[in-house]
Amino acid sequence: MSQPGQTFISIRNLNKSYGTFQVLHGIDLDIDEGEVVCVIGPSGSGKSTLIRCVNHLEAFASKSVISVDGIRVEPGDALAKVRAEVGMVFQSFNLFPHMTVLKNVMLAPMRVRKTDRVEAERKARELLVRVGISEQAEKYPGQLSGGQQQRVAIARALAMEPRVLLFDEPTSSLDPEMVGEVLDVMRKLAGTGVTMVIVTHEMGFARQVADRVIFMDSGRLVEAGTPSEIFDTPKEERTRSFLRAVLNH
């Protein structure tokens, strides 16, 4: 078990290609327990691919090494252990449309952790209160707004009591007026000590919440630092031009 401040996710020489097109070039990155990391960068820079490698939703080059809490991420029995510790929230929510909100949140603890139904339901209702949608527990995902669905998805990920939460552009497919409610939930989470890796285009949120901001471009990790280092005094010209483009519009 790692302690707060110790390396929790370790990424070494991460390479990934789709056919002949290389999307990630030798990424090295350590993320500490309890750290909140925001990954920013232009579309197609490999941000999403990077975090999707952490729980092996994307396979990566065999010489690359990712480990989570000391467990190597690779196909096989250990992967289930990693995935139980790593929650993920997707851009398109990916809720299970044929189950009620409550069942969506209860499923994984019951099947993976073997939690009994009563306890799983108690926990699920508690989480739905925490993300502010307890009244919608018996509804189906299709009956909810995008913002509400994404908050259910966060509750579903939290139900496994993960030690890391990966967010893959969690607000990118939301109507503007719903972005705030999801960011609020994430902001509260950041204060609870859970490790978070967030791919986002919300620069204000990144500046406010992140312990560290990572700027990626063309599959390379260009620059990493505190929010003020990246946003106020970026060292790389590529970072500066990206920030100019996204902040001045």
Partner 1 sequence: MNLINTFFNIDVLIDSLPQLLWGLVVTLQIGITSIICGLAGGLLLAVSRLYAPRVIKLLIHGYVDIFRSIPLLVLLIVVYYALPFVGILLSPFLSAVTALSLVSAAYSAEIFRAGIEAIPRGQFEASSALGLSNKHTMIDVILPQAIRIVIPPLTNNCINVLKDTALASVVAMPDLLKQATQAQALAANPTPLIGAAIIYVLLLWPMVATVARLEKHYSRGRS
Applying the rule CB under 8 A, the residues between 134 and 153 that interact with partner 1 are: 142
Of 8, 90, 205, 231, which lies in the binding site for partner 1, with binding defined by CB under 8 A? Answer: 90
Question: Quick one: 81 or 244, whose CB is closer to partner 1?
Answer: 81
- Sequence-distant (≥ 6) Cβ neighbours of residue 215 within 8 angstroms: 40, 41, 221, 222, 223, 224, 230, 234, 236, 238, 239, 242
Of 72, 98, 235, 244, which lies in the binding site for partner 1, with binding defined by CB under 8 A? Answer: 98
Binding of residue 160 to partner 1 (CB under 8 A): yes
Give the binding range for partner 1 (CB under 8 A) out of 20-28, 119-127, 154-162, 232-240: 154-162
Q: Name the region of 151 (left: φ>0; alpha: ψ -120 to 50; beta: rest).
A: alpha
Question: Quick one: 171 or 239, whose CB is closer to partner 1?
Answer: 171
Tokens of 37: 């990391």
Half-sphere exposure of 237 (CA within 13 A, CB side): 0
CB of 150 to partner 1, least distance (A): 13
Half-sphere exposure of 63 (CA within 13 A, CB side): 6
Cα distance between residue 69 and residue 55, in whole Å: 12
Applying the rule CB under 8 A, the residues between 2 and 61 that interact with partner 1 are: 55, 57
Cα distance between residue 201 and residue 181, in whole Å: 16
Which amino acid, 118?
V
Site string for partner 1, 168-207 (x = CB under 8 A): ----------------------------------------
Contact residues for partner 1, defined by CB under 8 A:
55, 57, 80, 83-84, 86-88, 90, 92, 94-98, 107-108, 111-112, 142, 156-157, 160, 166
